[in-house]
Structure 1
């Protein structure tokens, strides 16, 4: 499985509760595409949301986001990570 970081824009003013609800909506259906959303972050002032996932493809990530009602504007593979 590959790792992806996706970006959602236009979410100015998003609250922690709204971010949590969007993340839960993804989690509820992620298995149908073999995706696992690991974490989500938001910058309410900029209106940007970031999601980290493991998935078979970026298309699978987008299909889940679309079905959950918040398609990603960008999806980037993350081939290297350190912690």
Structure 2
């Protein structure tokens, strides 16, 4: 399944606890769309959130975000894992 990294650029700082709640909402919705959110990273002071997700398409990944909490990604990139 394709792997994507999405980037959310918020208007101001974000709290990691709030992002954790949004991530939990994604996990509750993801199966409906064949999506699997794997990990996320937060840059609290800059208001950036990065999500790593396996999904059939970028649109499917964004649909989960939209339905779960409304915070769709600013950008989404198909990526390949390296070591």
Normalising by structure 2, report the TM-score: 0.92
Shift of 1:43: 0.4
Q: Structure 1 regions of 5+ residues with no counterpart?
A: none
1:30 alignment counterpart = 30
Name the Cα RMSD after superposition: 1.1
Shift of 1:12: 2.8
Q: Structure 2 regions of 5+ residues with no counterpart?
A: none
C-alpha separation in 1, matches of 2:11 and 2:51: 13
C-alpha separation in 1, matches of 2:11 and 2:73: 11
Shift of 1:11: 5.2
Normalising by structure 1, report the TM-score: 0.92
Look up the SS of the partner of 1:12 in the other structure: coil
